[in-house]
């Protein structure tokens, strides 16, 4: 699969629902940011992605972590808009394309899955072009390992490496 000059590996996520969300998100970003271009040279900042989604038919009630019609109206989105939690849903999509925001996005995800939407949000899809195993391991050890065992959460990552998305199941 190709997405504006980026390769998306043929391997599917082991979870069909997450694969469908991933493809829906890519289609939405394509329509919102690059309807006439054949190649994306630079991905927009996370906050711009959420703002643009909120201003269109994709953002039914987006106020940060909130519902969106990207995937039938039943996903949350991180980053949250300022001073807002929005509504809880089964799946959360985390955008992390802004430099230096990985720790912040994990903090938002931990709060969503362990406090605000515990027991409701069961799956997360992290879309990122940056990764730090140390930061991930810190959050996994402090929060996500516990939630994996008590709530059965699943976290997936689509990491942009160069010009290719690599898909991984983290937990």
**Segment 93-124, tens digit of pLDDT:** 999 988 888 999 999 999 989 998 899 999 99
Between residues 18 and 49, the one the model is more confident about: 18
| Residue 137 in tokens | 């391991």
Answer with the residue of higher pLDDT: 102 or 87. 102
The larger pLDDT score, comparing residue 10 to residue 13, is at: 13
pLDDT at 164: 79
CA 80 vs CA 9, 59, 126, 142: distances in Å: 29, 13, 14, 22
Per the prediction, the chain carries an average pLDDT of: 79
The per-residue pLDDT for range 32-67, each reduced to its tens digit, is: 776 655 555 667 788 888 777 767 655 543 333 344
């Amino acid at each position: 699969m190709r997405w504006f000059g980026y390769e998306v590996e043929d391997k599917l996520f082991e979870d069909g629902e997450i694969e469908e969300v991933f493809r829906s998100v890519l289609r939405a970003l394509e329509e919102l940011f690059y309807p006439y271009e054949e190649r994306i040279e630079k991905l927009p900042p996370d906050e711009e992605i959420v703002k643009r989604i909120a201003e269109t038919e994709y953002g039914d009630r987006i106020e940060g972590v909130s519902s969106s019609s990207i995937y039938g109206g039943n996903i949350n989105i991180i980053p949250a808009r300022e001073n807002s939690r929005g509504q809880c849903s089964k799946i959360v999509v985390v955008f992390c394309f802004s430099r230096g925001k990985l720790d912040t996005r994990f903090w938002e995800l931990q709060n969503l899955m362990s406090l605000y939407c515990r027991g409701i949000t069961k799956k997360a899809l992290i879309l990122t072009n940056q990764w730090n195993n140390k930061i991930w391991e810190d959050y996994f050890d402090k929060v996500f390992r516990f939630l994996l065992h008590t709530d059965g959460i699943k976290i997936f990552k689509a990491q942009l490496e160069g010009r290719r998305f690599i898909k991984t199941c983290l937990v």
